[in-house]
Chain A
Amino acid sequence: GESVGLHLPTLSVQEGDNSIINCAYSNSASDYFIWYKQESGKGPQFIIDIRSNMDKRQGQRVTVLLNKTVKHLSLQIAATQPGDSAVYFCAENKAAGNKLTFGGGTRVLVKP
């Protein structure tokens, strides 16, 4: 697959447990952050976003936390399901309309 050769950190989680995926960003000028999920053979799929004037945002089973002091972003998935198995990417940009800068990705494996 396309991830061959890409040494991704892997998070192995039991079905039903909560998952936490972390991401560090480098550009202190970034003001918009997004989490994407990529399943094998598909493109990145939008999960949730957050603007820099917020520190927490919740969606359906997902929560994104932003700590601008240490330039850290996390994605929490509640009650992880087998369908959550994928590679998760954080992305940032300086202002809406600009290019996204992606992190390296984290592979989540859900064990039944």
Chain B
Amino acid sequence: EAGVTQFPSHSVIEKGQTVTLRCDPISGHDNLYWYRRVMGKEIKFLLHFVKESKQDESGMPNNRFLAERTGGTYSTLKVQPAELEDSGVYFCASSVRTGGLETQYFGPGTRLLVL
């Protein structure tokens, strides 16, 4: 079974540019999460989709970040315009609830560097 995949693995952009990150969850997983770790900090939650609906977007830092999951399959996270403090590693995770428990499986992450 394929795991969570993310694209690109690395992205280097200049301040003010736009970057779009993609996440393909494990097939059949309705829950999709975005997290990020910026330099010097711990991994922080950004938002949670259930199928195509945003269940919780309390972790989104500001309106420069836009996440979508049209059709309830893959998800994109767009940063526009990117700022220096957006540099970090962006992780996607997916899960399916089984018997009340839910293990989140993480992708390899996208390493974003804003210059």
Contacts and interface: CB of A to CB of B under 8 A. Distances in A.
B48 A99 contact: yes
A100 B104 contact: yes
A interface, size bucket: 20 to 34
Nearest to B31: A97
Interface string B1-37: 0001010000000000000000000000001010101
Contact of B111 (A2, A6, A49, A98): A2
Interface residues of B, number: 33
Interface of A: 2, 4-7, 32, 34, 36, 41-46, 49, 51, 89, 96-105
Interface of B: 4, 6, 31, 33, 35, 37, 39-45, 48, 56, 58-59, 88-89, 91, 93, 97, 100-109, 111
